[in-house]
Amino acid sequence: MRSTTAAALTLVSGAHAFWRMPCRTETGVARMDPIVDPGQIADHVHTIAGSGNFHMESTYADLTAEGACTSCAVTQDHSAYWTPALYFVYSNGSSVIVPQIGGMLAYYLYYMDNVKAFPEGFQMLAGQRDLRSFNGSFPDEPLSSWPQEPDDQKWLSQRALGFNCLNYGATAEPSLYRHELPEKSYMDANCKDGMRLEIGFPSCGNGELDSDDHQSHVAYPNLVKEGKCPEGYDIHYPFLFFETIWATNKFAGEDGEFALSHGDPTGAGYHGDFIMGWESSDFLQKALDTCQNQSGRIEDCALFDIQEDSKADQCSFEMPEVLSDEDVMSIQDGIPMGVPMQYGPADATKYPCVGRDGHSEPTKSAKSSKPSSSASDYGLLSKASSALFGDDDSKSSEGSDKASSYGSSTASDAEVAAASITASPSIYDAVDSSSANIVSTKTVTENGEVVEIAIEEVDMTVTATASQAADDKYRRHLHNHKRHGGARL
């Protein structure tokens, strides 16, 4: 039993509607990317959520196929959501995946008018994987001084990345505040609860389902989340925003560095992928039109069928044979699989992809049939915070009761404490509240909306036991083996 007081930014009025889709566990962690590298091994590791029918060539039809599960809470959502994984590289050169806490949240926010559903077959990529430096000012210039025209999409996409330093005991940082990973020493000193990685997707579309670079059929409006769309990009999609939390705090005091799986220690090349996999575009449209409760809770949308966490948790994809021996959780030589670290500031260059086009394996990494300690922590941590994700009510003091009712079977107190997991409600309102922190009230008003922010203290209680988490993990492990005998753990 553990009580935590968290400072929560709470939206009081004037917010646009939104909902947040919890995808509490990943369906897998693997070198797959059906958008960028269809049909072949991807050149870096992704953490993937959503439809269980995910493979190297997944399409809308595959993701939504009869009988496919989803790791997201709403059963009508079989979309695929993925981002690079985060690693910690010890000074001796070996690396482990940073435990991910609570899976992923995919926000659907309505910043613009006349929001249209993503069509069936729609997919997109956000971010620029080759970037290794953010050359803008920190913090961002006030929105009022941003370009009035959305001409420079590269400039905008850099500002659609966020590396949020989590410390639930302090005032929450706004979303999309920092556009690079901070120094490790800064994280050690300040980010006591880990880092939240954020990426916002372009929400202006030209009507195409995809494009050669998987980006140019969509564009950011001039203020990233909202504002003016470029000419020819007149369709307004929801502002899709991913959050993933990583227990970087677990490595406080350790000598080494963090790096994203594409060899990026800076974070500037963070990116995300999305394949629309809703039951139908019509259904998503209906949800966008009717699910406008300010709470953002999926429970407040009558259209959504919500599955139990335990069910969502069982959803994993089948590991392709060619990847089934790959241990992407813990390896001896750098980050998997032979991806070179590229520090910038110049753009990263292409590197050979191990296992593809005749490129051979790097030095064999330590493989074991049992999960490594980091891998099992990984599961426990995900579990621990999964439960917390059930509590979305950040607005009121009822929060504390709710949190305890959800947090009944996760990880031990020690594990919870070790990961410094707290039920920070700021996670949920971060996007909206950030507009008040980033933007002055004046600017917001100039842009046609009035937003007010209040800071309130919310007490959260987490109750947890270790054995059940271990059991759950064991079951999940068996389940994975039953499906493909693969090396997901």
Ligand X SMILES: *[C@@H]1O[C@H](CO)[C@@H](O)[C@H](O)[C@H]1NC(C)=O
- Comparison of 170 and 346: residue with beta carbon closer to ligand X: 346
Task: Give the contacts of 160 (CB within 8 A, at least 6 positions apart).
Answer: 126, 127, 176, 199, 200, 201, 202, 220, 224
Q: For the CB of residue 72, give the shortest distance to ligand X in the complex, in Å.
A: 19
- Comparison of 396 and 440: residue with beta carbon closer to ligand X: 396
Handedness of CA 285, 291, 297, 298 (dihedral sign): negative
- Comparison of 59 and 293: residue with beta carbon closer to ligand X: 293
- Comparison of 189 and 346: residue with beta carbon closer to ligand X: 346
CA pair distance 405, 400, nearest whole angstrom: 9
Q: For the CB of residue 87, give the shortest distance to ligand X in the complex, in Å.
A: 13
Both ends of the chain: CA-CA distance in Å?
29
Task: Give the contacts of 67 (CB within 8 A, at least 6 positions apart).
Answer: none
Q: For the CB of residue 94, give the shortest distance to ligand X in the complex, in Å.
A: 4
- Comparison of 30 and 96: residue with beta carbon closer to ligand X: 96
- Comparison of 136 and 232: residue with beta carbon closer to ligand X: 136
CA pair distance 297, 19, nearest whole angstrom: 6
Task: Give the contacts of 66 (CB within 8 A, at least 6 positions apart).
Answer: none
Name the nearest CA neighbour of 82 among 61, 56, 113: 56
Q: For the CB of residue 365, give the shortest distance to ligand X in the complex, in Å.
A: 10
Residue type for position 7: A
Q: For the CB of residue 422, give the shortest distance to ligand X in the complex, in Å.
A: 21
- List residues binding ligand X (CB under 6 A): 90, 92, 94, 131, 133, 135, 293, 295, 297, 300, 332, 345-347
Q: Which two tokens stand for residue 153?
A: 């999409």
Helix or strand or coil: residue 74?
strand
Q: For the CB of residue 16, give the shortest distance to ligand X in the complex, in Å.
A: 15
Q: For the CB of residue 129, give the shortest distance to ligand X in the complex, in Å.
A: 13
Q: Which two tokens stand for residue 77?
A: 């959502």
- Comparison of 347 and 449: residue with beta carbon closer to ligand X: 347
- Comparison of 396 and 441: residue with beta carbon closer to ligand X: 396
- Comparison of 192 and 297: residue with beta carbon closer to ligand X: 297
CA pair distance 163, 468, nearest whole angstrom: 32
Cβ–Cβ under 8 Å, residues 48 and 320: no
Helical residues (DSSP H) of 393-438, grouped into ranges: 399-406, 413-418, 426-438
Half-sphere exposure (CA, 13 Å, Cβ side) for 90? 11
Half-sphere exposure (CA, 13 Å, Cβ side) for 53? 16
- Comparison of 251 and 274: residue with beta carbon closer to ligand X: 251
Q: For the CB of residue 255, give the shortest distance to ligand X in the complex, in Å.
A: 8
Q: For the CB of residue 92, give the shortest distance to ligand X in the complex, in Å.
A: 4
Q: For the CB of residue 456, give the shortest distance to ligand X in the complex, in Å.
A: 16
CA pair distance 128, 114, nearest whole angstrom: 28
Q: Which segments of 134-267 are extended strands (E)?
A: 161-165, 195-200, 204-205, 218-219, 235-236, 239-246, 256-260
Residue 306 DSSP code: B
Q: List beta partners, residue 219.
A: 204
CA pair distance 436, 434, nearest whole angstrom: 5
CA pair distance 453, 260, nearest whole angstrom: 33
Cβ–Cβ under 8 Å, residues 163 and 390: no
Name the nearest CA neighbour of 176 among 204, 199, 146: 199
- Comparison of 75 and 332: residue with beta carbon closer to ligand X: 332
- Comparison of 13 and 135: residue with beta carbon closer to ligand X: 135
